[in-house]
Structure 1
């Protein structure tokens, strides 16, 4: 009796075997009364395939696998009685040219800790979940309702958020350690989601998890698959969503990995002009092969359906969409129409996004796409790629270019801060200040800021307030919430000792206040993708480098007015136009002493401001406010 049936072969060959991870790989089962493990692997051009491991003393010839019917599919299978959970194994593939290839299982659910490379038999189906309330609420969300939810993401590299001091090993926090420490921190700060970098198994720490060898295995650096499931479960019980970085764009050439898996270009394009990234030294998946597409689709579905993950942030989407991405003339092959679009990758995205969001209401697919490719979040019916969200890289570049400037020169670059709203309705956006912006000599967020130390902090406070008020969901990389001074490195934990310095503690408190303001006020998230939720009061005060705008809720209640100054000049009576004759209640003030501000009992600003019939900014009504240097004032009305 075969585990991998003719129907399995058919579905796999159509790229529609959505439970492929329950068939391929190594699975405990009982056949004809004998308990053991059934091994299945796809190696279509192999001459022979053997399974080797602890169970047979790594004997290379004792356990030859057989091709299942139809043999043209290239799936090999062998049931081995007596094999137990925890047993290490590999596939020995004899290529047609006689080479011996020792490969980890592409579908393995668990792997040895690097630098070792064997796969490990496990069972990921037995975890006892207790996140029913979260999962049921997620399933009830329509696609439009997803967009109306708050999303403030804390991007985390698990291996360097915190570490155990003085340990002989790397001192990594385990998944269970993170459940005890990261979750309370994220919850207290006010984030809605955690995004985890580098969870799929990978061999090289310095790749941060973006060069994957195990697309079906949570990395063993931080524990077992069950430990990872525990972390997700605890996040959900604490009403925190979990997003994983997922890398279907490319894979490394490590000998035990996917590259030339059966001695030929199995998972990658055969033509190196299509199958290799010259800049990255990696292989590109062949999106024209159904079995390869099914491999990737199965991985995505496993994370979302088996591990209850709430969404995937798809890395390097642009490199998949463009055949000439990172390549010179002669290094790439045009498509059948002579263009530079990868038509197979486009169809892959339409397929996988429609499938995942259709099968899993309330989940999200997020594109890290750095170009002006149209309709990334558009529907398939409108020839879009059907992602839920797109990282707004344009906003990020303009924002950072502006924030780095000496305040004297900001008046000439005012449009860098206003431009993103002109195209805001074209996609569903997430505003991102990610790990990529604080590595490779780009400086930490704090040290991007101009001026002396005090000015750096005030600049960054104003920048974070602008980000939180602007349309779009939010993402901030770990450590930047308390103004990490050094660039991030995966080799050490964050500089938590900085919180002993009041300036850094004030920054953390400021970001916390912004996050709680965001979560408590639907005007900041329920109408992110339309002008109905945003209105400039004054987008043109470039001489003073001050921005004022209103965020509006659907019901017209509890709207917020933001006034943000990006110069070190105090304005004793800054007058700003307002939408009507309301009372404007000051709910966030950067001059408050709890954030390191200079207000005292004697100089404290009033908490309420009645609109006066004094025309300003093209409005009939306005309020006057004493705006401090780099001042931020948020009013509710």
Structure 2
């Protein structure tokens, strides 16, 4: 025996920080005799042999401890040779396999250097669990970052979840631990067991895990991400060819996959990725949307978080199938001509003990000081954006979704909370930056780097910020000093417009500025005009029930007028599921949308209007290609506060096509209402939200109206209109 009792005790108690120095094959001496020593630690084995792979010669091993620790000294052999271990068990079973401790590290110095520097953009290909073949031997390579751990082990069914049996190798000052386990395959459940500096055991899921089992187990699952045979090449080429042309029709349908529609014949279970793909594609295409935005699908243990409290940043949630099923979902949408945008949550993470929080016994991913590391509103933890390895984890995470799953855009959640150190904090609850200011400089640098790299690696992918403040330059390119997003949600327009429509029409004349103020900042950013899930939860009421009216038909009329105004207003479009047919109650994540409401005209009419608005928007460049150009918008009149009437123009650069949008938001009918027109001739009534087809009274202008040579609103000619109550009407003029 070449091990001392103390060394044996260290192994038995799982406190060996350098297992590859003890286990495996090594040159050794026994007295004056040189040779090789082989040691192994095998759960449940009653005996073990070393088998030389080249000759088949075996060497019986001595049992040093009944925990399964074995050793053999092979004299007069100085050169390490390939071998296997043959383990014997009390049941008579015998297994022969390669020794995990006979392999060199699977990560190189360059990998580790770039990771510690924060510049390994594909670190997800190195850390985590990956099926590999090394020296002709198939197995799984595990690697995890835990710089303050005293010992890290891989645990799973393959070693009875016992951290003594697969301790990992520390790769020095990099803080990375690594182990290649031969013979393991896809489907194995695993976690990392860490011994921290206070000798406390922590059992953690893999931060880079690609697949997870359901709670309460939450184990990581070995799973490749290249199993799906993609068929979306034409889509991907088209996307790259259109890189930089963000001024195109973009109408987004925001969806929570678990509650969009459910299989009611099977106990109301959610549909899976493969079932949802054709149904969702059919509906979105019928409705005229260009993109589907899915609420966060990264793994999360609590359904009530809607996916915003992520524990598996690299894994599509198990709830709807495997990573391969999710790849099918995306591929199907692409082949049907639909883009997919994923909600991404780099702002914070939950405190679940099995995940990132205090990962190695220290505040590894989060700030140690709660004034920087604790989110006051959500009870979550904030990433330490100034730490290179944390920034690398997050940047690579964004790239991984685009690489592995062909995602077309990321909508970044809670950007405002990342930009400001004093976000939702009182005086004394935050720490100023190095200049004494409130801006989170590290988070800003992280967002810029992420946006720059996404656009460099994946031209045509959209980056969208959910940002509710007046922070300048959110959608300005990084090269020009901006944050680098393509778009920003227009939260100001949303807030003001909803505030206006929630008022009883009799009071709206005092609040016309809520409809017009948005034009003052409309072109300060590239905006998405949005009504998201946030507007229909937590007692805020559904979109239909927000409307300032008593009866459902009047509420529906208000909602139709609002949507027609929204689609006429500059900006890309985004609407949360259920809002398109005027769902009555607030959104509930644990049930299905109330699709049966579409049998009633008050709801189906709203849906038909949104459908027609989408198709008009997609087919008319004057409504989409000028979204980001102030020259494409012009007020006609907004002074009639008593009548609650506004009118404005949308136009192409060549002005060969013009649209006049007229909004009237009282229950009165206005006959012969004169509005100036910039062009003589026929103006076709292409949308009337009061149409009988949509559930209105049908009052309108008979499909068209002609100008009269009567000056109005600064134009030499004008239109004498019949303006229906609670309506938005869209007229089109074209040079024929």
Which TM class, normalised by the smaller chain length?
Answer: over 0.9
Which of 529, 536, 541 is 1:438 aligned to? 536
Query: Partners of 1:406 and 1:45 in 2: how far apart?
Result: 61
Query: Partners of 1:604 and 1:210 in 2: how far apart?
Result: 45
Matches within 5 A, 1:199-598: 199-451=297-549, 452-598=551-697
Query: Partners of 2:660 and 2:567 in 1: how far apart?
Result: 12
| Aligned: 1:622 with 2:718 | yes
The aligned counterpart of 1:130 is 231
The aligned counterpart of 1:38 is 141
User: Contact conserved, 2:601 with 2:694, CA < 8 A, in 1?
Assistant: no
Q: Deviations over 1:79-131 (max 9, x none)?
A: 01111111100000111111110100000000012332100000001311111
The aligned counterpart of 2:202 is 101
Q: How far off is 1:624 after superposition?
A: 1.3
User: Contact conserved, 2:447 with 2:483, CA < 8 A, in 1?
Assistant: yes
User: Contact conserved, 2:688 with 2:700, CA < 8 A, in 1?
Assistant: no
Q: Deviations over 1:333-361 (max 9, x none)?
A: 11111111111111111111111112111
Query: Partners of 2:132 and 2:144 in 1: how far apart?
Result: 16
The aligned counterpart of 1:27 is 130
Query: Partners of 1:440 and 1:124 in 2: how far apart?
Result: 37
The aligned counterpart of 2:271 is 173
Q: Deviations over 1:522-542 (max 9, x none)?
A: 111111122211111112221
Q: Deviations over 1:441-470 (max 9, x none)?
A: 000000001122211010000000111000
Normalized per residue, which structure has more strand? Answer: 2
Query: Partners of 1:587 and 1:166 in 2: how far apart?
Result: 41
The 1:2–1:582 alpha-carbon spacing in structure 2 relative to 1, beyond 3 Å, is: farther
| Aligned: 1:16 with 2:112 | no
Matches within 5 A, 1:136-151: 136-143=237-244, 145-146=245-246, 148-151=247-250
Q: How far off is 1:611 after superposition?
A: 1.5
Query: Partners of 1:440 and 1:349 in 2: how far apart?
Result: 29
More RCO (CA 8 Å, sep 6+):
1
Larger radius of gyration: 2
User: Contact conserved, 2:273 with 2:325, CA < 8 A, in 1?
Assistant: yes
Q: How far off is 1:257 after superposition?
A: 0.8
- Structure 2, unpaired ranges of 5+: 1-103
Q: What is the TM-score when the length of structure 1 is the normalising length?
A: 0.97
User: Contact conserved, 2:625 with 2:652, CA < 8 A, in 1?
Assistant: yes
The aligned counterpart of 1:59 is 162
Query: Partners of 1:235 and 1:56 in 2: how far apart?
Result: 41
Q: What value does the CA root-mean-square deviation take over the aligned residues?
A: 1.2
Query: Partners of 1:119 and 1:612 in 2: how far apart?
Result: 72
Ranges of 4+ aligned residues in structure 1 off by more than 4 Å: none
Q: How far off is 1:72 after superposition?
A: 0.6
Query: Partners of 2:702 and 2:467 in 1: how far apart?
Result: 45
Query: Partners of 1:215 and 1:45 in 2: how far apart?
Result: 22
| Aligned: 1:119 with 2:119 | no
Q: How far off is 1:412 after superposition?
A: 0.9
Q: What is the TM-score when the length of structure 2 is the normalising length?
A: 0.84
More displaced, 101-110 or 265-274? 265-274
